Structure 1
């Protein structure tokens, strides 16, 4: 008496694992891209005298395999523009623009929805 077991398909040949990894990368990148677009849009709406330099410094970088960061590449006056610098109110009347806060809030609010939309592009690969 003998038993023969055969395991075939995406779960067993690595295609499902690769599809999941591709999904995570795609979701991370799509959410980060959304955050960068929102931050830049907000800057365009609120900056009174934009030179273009600050906006050109906004970049998305990989923090880890599942985490991306959107920031201003460390522009020295970035915290002041955002309203979180040591030179903001009460030292000056300028309270900042809050463009990063708005972008962060929208990413938190829409991140799961974006990830679910991205999932639909990868679900067939996982079957």
Structure 2
């Protein structure tokens, strides 16, 4: 009795790791773009007197091949708008909009679905 096993496919050819890396990067980029759009959408709802400057500074910052951050580019009054600045409570009643913190929760809730969809769309 002879048993012959033929192993084929990306797991055995060594391309699986590269495929997972590509899928992760694509899903991360898609999620980061959604988060950027969501931050802009929420800012459009909450800002009382928008000048356009702050919104123009909010963008996706790629921090690595599969690492992204949504940032306001360090706008000096960004922490005040978010509600984490040193002047929010002691000197003003303004508690901030919490835009980035609220969107972060939505991104975390959406991440699993986004990554599953990205992998399913790219399956062999």
Do they superpose with TM above 0.5? yes
SS at match of 2:116: helix
Aligned to 1:50: 50
**Where do 4+ consecutive residues of structure 1 move more than 6 Å?**
none
Q: Where does 1:24-103 land on structure 2 (aligned, <5 Å)?
A: 24-103=24-103
Could you tell me which runs of 5 or more consecutive residues in structure 1 were left unpaired when the two chains were aligned: none
CA apart distance, 1:6: 5.6
Could you tell me which runs of 5 or more consecutive residues in structure 2 were left unpaired when the two chains were aligned: none
**Conserved in 1, the CA contact under 8 Å of 2:29 and 2:66?**
no
**Conserved in 2, the CA contact under 8 Å of 1:19 and 1:122?**
no
Question: Which structure's relative contact order is higher, taking Cα pairs within 8 Å and 6+ residues apart?
Answer: 1
Give the RMSD, CA atoms, in angstroms.
1.9
Scaled by the length of structure 2, the TM-score of the pair is 0.87
Scaled by the length of structure 1, the TM-score of the pair is 0.86
CA apart distance, 1:21: 1.3
